[in-house]
Structure 1
Amino acid sequence: MFGGDGDSWITSGIKDYFPLATYILDLYHLYKRFKEALGRRKEEQKAIKDLLLSNQIDKGLSVIDQLIRNPYDLKEKDNLVKLYTYISRNRLGITNQFKLKDKEIERAGAIESNVRKAISARFKKRGMSWSKRGALALLKIKETILNGEWDDWWETERERNIKITEFKPPLPASYFNQETESSPIVEVTIPALSGPDQDKPWVGVLRKLSEVGYY
C-alpha cells in the first residue's frame, strides 16, 4: 500500500514500479486543495467534499466543471482547473479509501507525519541547502536518534567515521521490462521437504515442482 499527496510523480511512479500496489490519497492534501480552489465557496466546497467522500467522484467533477464555466475571476478559474485535474488524476486513490475502510486503513496521515518529523522539519528550514552526501550523513544521525540508539553510538562509535555509501539513483522502469534469454536459478530451502509430512502426496508434488528443469 502506498499513501501519497497526489503529485503526478507519485502516481506515475507507482504505476511504473509497483503496478500491483494499492494507492490511497491522503485526505489532508485533498482538503488543502479544496481550500485553495474553493476558499470563497463554502457551500460548494462542502457539497463536492460530500460527493467525493461518498464515492460519487464523477458527480463531484461535474460540479467543479460547472464552476469552471462561471468563475469569479481568472485566478479562481485557474485554481478550479487545477482541482479538477488533481481529482481526476487521483480518483483511484480516493476510491481505494472505501475499499480499505473495512481494514481500518483510512488515511496516510501517519506516513505524512513521520516524513515531516524525521526529514522535513530538519532539512527544510529557511536558507538551508544540502548536498546528497551531506543529506545522507544527517539522515543517518537523525535515524540513530529516533531509534533511541544515540547514547550507545556516542559511547562506542563516535571516534569512527559514519559510513555513507555513494548515492545511486533508482533504476528506470524500462530496466525491469527487459526480456532475458534465461531466468536465473535461485537456490532455496523448502522446510516441507524435510519435515514430518514427507509421505504426504502434496509434498511429493512440491518436490517434483522444485526439481531443476521440471518446467
Structure 2
Amino acid sequence: MPFAASRGGVRNGAEKKTIEAIRQEITREVEEFLRVVFEERRKTGRLDLEATEMAMRSALHRAGAAALSQLLEFPAPTEEGRTLACPCGQQAHYRERRSKPVLTVVGLVEVLRPYYLCAHCGVGQLPADVELDIENTEFSPGVRRMQAIVGQEAPFAHGREQRRVLAGLEVTTKSVERTAEAIGADIAQREQAEIHKALQLDLPVVVGEPMRILYVQLDGTGVPVVKKETVGRQGKSAGQPAHTREVKLGCVFTQTKWDQEGYPIRDPDSTTYTGAIESAEEFGRRIYAEAWGRGWSRALQKVVIGDGAEWIWNLVGLHFPGATQIVDLYHARQHLWEVARRLFPNEEGKQKAWMKIHQKRLLDRGKIEKLVGALRSIESSNPELIEKIRTEADYFERNAERMRYPKFRRQHLFVGSGVIEAGCKTVVAYRLKRSGMFWTVRGANAILALRCCHLNGEFEDYWEARRAD
C-alpha cells in the first residue's frame, strides 16, 4: 500500500513519538486508577473486588483506546506515495488526512488516514480502510466478530446486552443485527462458490482413510416471516395465507461403532449442518456439496434418512444414487397412528390394539406389502376416511424399500432421523422461531449460514480465510 510506504519514511522519529505518547497515556490511566482505588480503600478500610476489577477493565480500555488511536494516526504520504491507480484507469491524488471514529474492542478510537481523489471520475479512496478492514463500517474487525457470535446465538437485543455486560461496549441492537447478517451473507456467498464448484465437478477429492458409514439426514421446518415473503403462498389450511417459509436443513455425520445390543453410535463431534430457505433443487446442490466435503466419495457405506416428503427422495435419487435410503421409522409410525385415530376416534384402547398388529407385526418387521394390503382391505362408508386410508397406503407402498427396518438393523444402521430433528430445534427454532420474531428470507438465510458455520466449528477457519483475502 502506498500509505504504508509513506509510514516507513518517517519511522524513526514518528515511531519514537508514538511510543512515548502511548506510554504516557497508559501511565496516566493506571496512575489515576490506582489513586481512586487506594483512596476508596482508605475511606472504607476494605477492597470491593468486583468494583475494582470492573474499574480496572475500564481504565485499561481507555488506555488501549488511546494507544490504538496513536497507532492508527497515519502520516501524510511522501512524494512517491501521493498518487494511486484509480479503477477508472486514471490516477487518484492525495488530498488530505481524514479522521474516522471506529468502535474497537477497547472502545472508541479515531483513525486518521490519507484520502485520495480522482479528478477524472470523482471517486475517492481510503487505502488504510481496506488494509484495516474498516471500509464502509464504524466497527473494527474484532467488534464485528463479537457481534457475529452473539448475533447467531440469541436475539439481537440480547446480543447487545451481552456486549455491554461482558465486553464493556455499548452498541445498538440494530448494529448487532446488521453486522451479524452481513457476515452471515458473506459466509453464504462463499458457500455458493463451493456449491458452484460441485456443479462444475471441480471439488477437490477428499483424501484420507475410508470411513465406515456416512449419513445424510434431511428435513424441513417453518420459520415465521414478514408478510411480503408469503405473498401468493398457500398456508397449511385451505384458503388461508402462509405465515412461514420452510427452511430445508441437512446434516452429515459418521458412524463407526455400535453398542453391545447392536444399536448404532454416532461418532462424537461428527455432525455438520447446512440449510436455507430455498427450493428443493437449490437445496439438493447444497447438501451434495456438504456431503462431498465431508468425504462422501470415501465412505464404505452411504445412508440417507428422511421422512416421506417427495422432494427429499427426488433429490436423493439425483445427487446420492446408490445410497441406502431409509424412511424415519418414527415418522412412518406416526402415519399409522393417524389411520388408527381416524378408524377409532376417542377409543384409545382400540387404537392401541390396531397399532399392535399393524405397527409391531407389520411395519416394524418390514412387512410393508402385507401392511399395504391390510390398509387397502379396510372398508368404510365414510368417503373421507377411505381417501385418508388410500393416501396412507400409497405412502407405504411408495416407500416400501425404504422401510426394511429389520434389514437395516442387522447392518447396525440408524433407522430414525433424530439427529436432523434435533438440528431443526437447535439450529433453526432456537434462534429463528422465538416469540415475536418475523424474518425476511435474506435475513433468515444470513443468520442460518452464520449459525451453521459456528455450530460446525468452522467460524475460526472462515475468519482466517476472510482476513487472508
TM-score (norm 2): 0.29
What's the offset of the Cα at 1:109?
A: 1.7
* Alpha-carbon distance in 1 for matches of 2:452, 2:395: 33
Match 1:65 to one of 376, 399, 403: 376
Aligned amino acid, residue 29 of structure 1: H
Q: Which SS does the other structure have where 1:128 is aligned?
A: coil
Match 2:336 to one of 5, 17, 34: 34
Change (3 A) 1:45 1:27: same
Higher strand share: 2
* Aligned equivalent of 1:113: 422
Q: Is structure 2 residue 325 aligned with structure 1 residue 23?
A: yes
Q: 2:362 touches 2:368 (CA, 8 Å); kept in 1?
A: yes
What's the offset of the Cα at 1:62?
A: 0.9
What's the offset of the Cα at 1:147?
A: 4.8
* Alpha-carbon distance in 2 for matches of 1:37, 1:27: 16
Note the aligned Cα RMSD (angstroms): 3.1
* Aligned equivalent of 1:175: none
Unaligned segments of structure 2, at least 5 residues = 1-302, 345-350
Aligned amino acid, residue 447 of structure 2: L
Deviations 1:32-79 (A, max 9, x none): 111222212433332111212212111111110111xx1362332222
What's the offset of the Cα at 1:92?
A: 1.4
Aligned amino acid, residue 450 of structure 2: I
* Aligned equivalent of 2:411: 103
Change (3 A) 1:64 1:16: same
* Aligned equivalent of 2:316: 14
Q: 1:3 touches 1:25 (CA, 8 Å); kept in 2?
A: yes
What's the offset of the Cα at 1:130?
A: 3.1
Change (3 A) 1:104 1:84: same
Greater CA drift, 71-80 or 52-61: 71-80
Q: 2:375 touches 2:389 (CA, 8 Å); kept in 1?
A: yes
Aligned amino acid, residue 24 of structure 1: I
* Aligned equivalent of 1:84: 393
Change (3 A) 1:149 1:52: closer
Aligned amino acid, residue 77 of structure 1: I
Q: Which SS does the other structure have where 2:326 is aligned?
A: strand
Aligned amino acid, residue 398 of structure 2: R
Deviations 1:155-206 (A, max 9, x none): xx7xx9xxxxxxxxxxxxxxxxxxxxxxxxxxxxxxxxxxxxxxxxxxxxxx
* Alpha-carbon distance in 2 for matches of 1:17, 1:149: 24
* Alpha-carbon distance in 2 for matches of 1:144, 1:9: 25
Q: Which SS does the other structure have where 1:38 is aligned?
A: helix
What's the offset of the Cα at 1:81?
A: 1.4
Change (3 A) 1:86 1:123: farther
* Aligned equivalent of 1:51: 362
Runs of 4+ with deviation above 4 angstroms: 124-127, 147-150
Q: 1:3 touches 1:111 (CA, 8 Å); kept in 2?
A: no
Larger Rg: 2
Give the count of matched residue pairs.
153
Q: Which SS does the other structure have where 1:3 is aligned?
A: strand
Aligned amino acid, residue 14 of structure 1: V
Change (3 A) 1:147 1:12: closer
Change (3 A) 1:125 1:86: farther
TM-score (norm 1): 0.59
Q: Which SS does the other structure have where 1:100 is aligned?
A: helix
* Alpha-carbon distance in 1 for matches of 2:328, 2:430: 19
What's the offset of the Cα at 1:20?
A: 0.9
Change (3 A) 1:72 1:139: same
Change (3 A) 1:8 1:101: same
Change (3 A) 1:142 1:5: same
What's the offset of the Cα at 1:129?
A: 4.2
Unaligned segments of structure 1, at least 5 residues = 161-215
Q: Which SS does the other structure have where 1:106 is aligned?
A: coil
What's the offset of the Cα at 1:148?
A: 6.6
* Aligned equivalent of 2:274: none
What's the offset of the Cα at 1:111?
A: 2.5
* Alpha-carbon distance in 2 for matches of 1:136, 1:102: 39
* Aligned equivalent of 1:140: 449
Aligned amino acid, residue 37 of structure 1: V
Q: Which structure carries more relative contact order (alpha carbon 8 Å, separation 6+)?
A: 1
